[in-house]
Structure 1
């Protein structure tokens, strides 16, 4: 029985990896990628918080979102500090009703992505050292 389950798993894995996506899959793929990035950001948020608290890095930033006029806009908040489980910094680039340089506070649960600079490397949740 165990062997049959393993064989079934491998068949599904192999056929899943070789199938061609439907024509509308790029949008679904991007949405899936965004969800994976957010999951990684949330799963590794303690690493980001530890780096802020220990001063082990610089240029701390979080990506978050705002819902406006029926659509969701993502944007970066830079120069973040941590206070009472919230990140506060400045809006990097104006989006929707927000202006560049405006102060913004982000709850931990609203972090879509994060990054910081350590030893001239950009540290991100999914890559740990990239760009």
Structure 2
């Protein structure tokens, strides 16, 4: 079974979201607390998003567990900057953008995995183009 282009692209965007969230605190010189929290969370998110990407590439369908876990980490990246005081607006924006990409596109792949499980997906979820 072949995953659609949109499903494959979703897995890539989720990984790119992790990269944005990882680089943001390092590039902007964030204080050690938020830098450690966000960069470590981005690495954990990349592990799950990467597993999802590899499964899509190898098996033609995403993994529900990897998609759900990456979504949870993405949600954390969205709210993480709000948990700290004196966070630069640019850092908040970058972290939340990366988290949003990770959460939204990983959630999509998790739903595609559910569709596969329910037998409702033929792998062509972008108007018949694979």
Higher relative contact order (CA 8 A, sep 6+): 2
When the two structures are superposed, what TM-score results if normalisation uses the length of structure 1?
A: 0.31
Q: Max radius of gyration: which structure? A: 1
